[in-house]
Structure 1
């Protein structure tokens, strides 16, 4: 028996064509499309304005493998970490981050990761598979529902900074963003979306060729190749020179904002020499902002966060050299929801919603 086709992989035109083959009226396809992408049905029985026979036909011929919320955990600072379960039993995590007037969703793009960055808990996991575009879409839908339920506000921003490397799941990430920003999807602005990469130069250029509308963040974390090779093995095949070239290409093609993410590690990348190296790169790329990020401890790594004075000294030096720099305060540290901490740990039963 052939495996059923995921109905959400069909375009509206393909769906309409299918309905024609079973002698159903054209408007039925539009109704199903709305259930899939705007009313967020998770099974065919939810589609209550369709007849029972039609719902059965869809169930017999198609699958609807939506992800579901497995558990949620609440931080003392208002951050909510949610663990999602896929149709085939994999677990991924997403985070809702409420700050001021923003409700930001941090979403995952892969089950695990293949890049092995030394400071990131996900990097110590195996990559099981890519998330499908509709699963990424589901993450955003569920985090948006969480935002409305918990804070009475819709999501304002989306960052692809969760589990996995988005540019190694290129087609699914772009297709998910297409659906998220579509008028017959979630209708969110692409300018409110940021895709973060550890630095896949070839795919950064591809983003430029594809004329994407969203913003790009590079996880830099070290400003010379020797140090970056040690903490981010991807740098051995995508060195800083290649990334500078790719980022300039991306900006020339799109004019979209580029951000550098830079986690400070005590005694590793927080010296004035490191700051000088960062300034040199900053001057070669039209960078909108450098985010200095607090290091968040994980079980497998021995990095240490610098003290506040050392962090401030580093930032002041950058600012004195006309670098647009900001300290990004990590949220959700008490529930392992902060930058670099997502690892599918067991959620404490008392904190599960």
Structure 2
């Protein structure tokens, strides 16, 4: 019987979800030394083992016994596409055959992994392809971690440089999968894991005020990005239904609370839609909101999707909009989209094959 069939038949527990203490107790029960638990955890989180068979400093007998009770539900790359600009989008198959997407974004100086936190999304943002999908389930910490490892391996294979940054800006709303997202960050940043700096990690949210405050209470070390896209409630309600229960005033208070508690960087992400949120009046409203929250602003060009009728603002409008802000001392970065030709750009992730 294959391991996958065994998993379905016996519903073996994912070894990555077993606590250190429970693993030590299990090892004692099967006659193994408790220090083997540390070796197993090193294989899982430091060496990114995809199977129990890879744990070669364990005896064959121990590995076979572990396989009777546990499995590692590692993800696999189902297929990948490479953009003309070097961006690589991968469809990641989970153990239950669900698919999510991860993106490797290379520049001259670094590579960034854009990872997913949910299968689909429940927030229904009108401009985002993932928002038109149903949310099937949350990803667990190991599945998020695996995406980072997979993208790092692609970075080494294609560009010969290690992964330098991670953004939780793929499919799903990270703050609606709070525990698994924070657990994945812990594994990625821990010296016993991938040992990446939390300052190189950014988690993006559509704006859930109480969870932003919880991030502050939990004293997280990573950076936070808010998908803002409009600085008045009427417009934001139209494109982001979450705003109806998480108004701009509530978000402002939550962001200031987060900053006071952590001192971490905050970024406003602002997609410029033609004839919707691209006027000087819109820029003024964004400036007034920015004055009350310590943040920088990323202006993003819109990437059209078949499900929505929005169009991107023209270059002249974009220049005027950003100039209004920079003239007033705002730290503005105009972010050009990457991977548009393979539907890998911001807002386009929806498990579409070429």
The answer for the alignment partner of 1:93 in structure 2 is: 101
1:231 and 2:236 aligned: no
User: How far did residue 2 of structure 1 move?
Assistant: 6.1
User: How far did residue 306 of structure 1 move?
Assistant: 1.2
1:283 and 2:274 aligned: no
1:166 and 2:187 aligned: no
Identify the match of residue 17 of structure 1 among 25, 41, 62.
25
Q: Structure 2, unaligned stretches of length 5 or more?
A: 1-8
The answer for the alignment partner of 1:319 in structure 2 is: 326
**TM-score with structure 2 setting the length:** 0.96
User: How far did residue 16 of structure 1 move?
Assistant: 2.1
User: How far did residue 73 of structure 1 move?
Assistant: 0.6
Q: In the TM superposition, what are the counterparts of 1:89-128 in structure 2 within 5 Å? A: 89-128=97-136
Identify the match of residue 308 of structure 1 among 286, 310, 315.
315
Q: Give distance in 1, aligned partners of 2:314 and 2:128.
A: 20
Q: Give distance in 2, aligned partners of 1:258 and 1:290.
A: 9
Q: Give distance in 1, aligned partners of 2:274 and 2:125.
A: 17
1:342 and 2:322 aligned: no
Identify the match of residue 92 of structure 2 among 80, 84, 88.
84
Q: Deviations over 1:185-238 (max 9, x none)?
A: 000000000000000000000000000000000000001000000000000000
Q: Give distance in 1, aligned partners of 2:292 and 2:49.
A: 47
User: How far did residue 17 of structure 1 move?
Assistant: 2.5
Identify the match of residue 250 of structure 1 among 238, 252, 258.
258
Q: Give distance in 2, aligned partners of 1:16 and 1:188.
A: 27
Q: Give distance in 1, aligned partners of 2:139 and 2:325.
A: 38
Instruction: Tell me which moved more, 96-105 or 194-203.
Output: 96-105
Displaced runs of 4 or more, over 4 A: none
Q: Deviations over 1:268-299 (max 9, x none)?
A: 00001101100110000011x10000000101
Q: Deviations over 1:151-178 (max 9, x none)?
A: 1111110000000000000000000000
Q: Give distance in 2, aligned partners of 1:189 and 1:249.
A: 23
The answer for the alignment partner of 2:305 in structure 1 is: 298
Q: Deviations over 1:301-329 (max 9, x none)?
A: 11111111110000001111211111001
Q: What is the RMSD computed on CA atoms of the aligned residues?
A: 1.0
User: How far did residue 142 of structure 1 move?
Assistant: 0.6
**TM-score with structure 1 setting the length:** 0.96
Identify the match of residue 207 of structure 1 among 169, 192, 215.
215
The answer for the alignment partner of 2:340 in structure 1 is: 333
Q: Give distance in 2, aligned partners of 1:2 and 1:123.
A: 35
